[in-house]
Amino acid sequence: MKKLLILSTLFLALLLFPADSFASVLNFDEFGTSTLLNADSMSVSGVTFHFNSGTAYYDGQIGDPMFAVLVTDPLLTGPTTGTLTMDFASPTSLLSFDVALNSLNTIDLAYTVVLSDGSVIVGSTTPQPGGLFSEGTFLYTGAPITGAWVTFFNGIDSTSGNVTDFGLDNLAFDAPEPSSQLLLAGALLALGVIKKRKILS
Asked if residue 74 has a cis previous peptide bond (ω within 30° of 0), the answer is yes
Of 140, 157, 158, the residue nearest 149 (C-alpha): 140
pTM of the model as a whole: 0.79
pLDDT in tens, 38-91: 999 999 999 999 999 999 999 999 986 778 999 999 999 999 999 999 999 999
Of 71, 84, 59, 89, the residue nearest 132 (C-alpha): 71
Q: How far apart are CA 172 and CA 22, in angstroms?
A: 10
**pLDDT computed for residue 15 by the predictor:** 47
114-118, 174-178, 185-189: which has the highest mean pLDDT? 114-118
What is the distance in angstroms between the CA of the first residue and the CA of the last residue of the chain? Answer: 13
Q: Report whether 149 contacts 140 (CB < 8 A).
A: no
CATH number of the structural domain 22-176: 2.60.120
Segment 142-161 mean pLDDT: 96
Q: Is the pLDDT of residue 164 over 90?
A: yes
Instruction: Name residue 113's beta-bridge partners.
Output: 121, 150
Please name the helix (run of DSSP H) or strand (run of DSSP E) that holds residue 26, with its range, or none. Answer: strand 21-26
Please name the helix (run of DSSP H) or strand (run of DSSP E) that holds residue 192, with its range, or none. Answer: helix 178-200
**pLDDT computed for residue 3 by the predictor:** 47
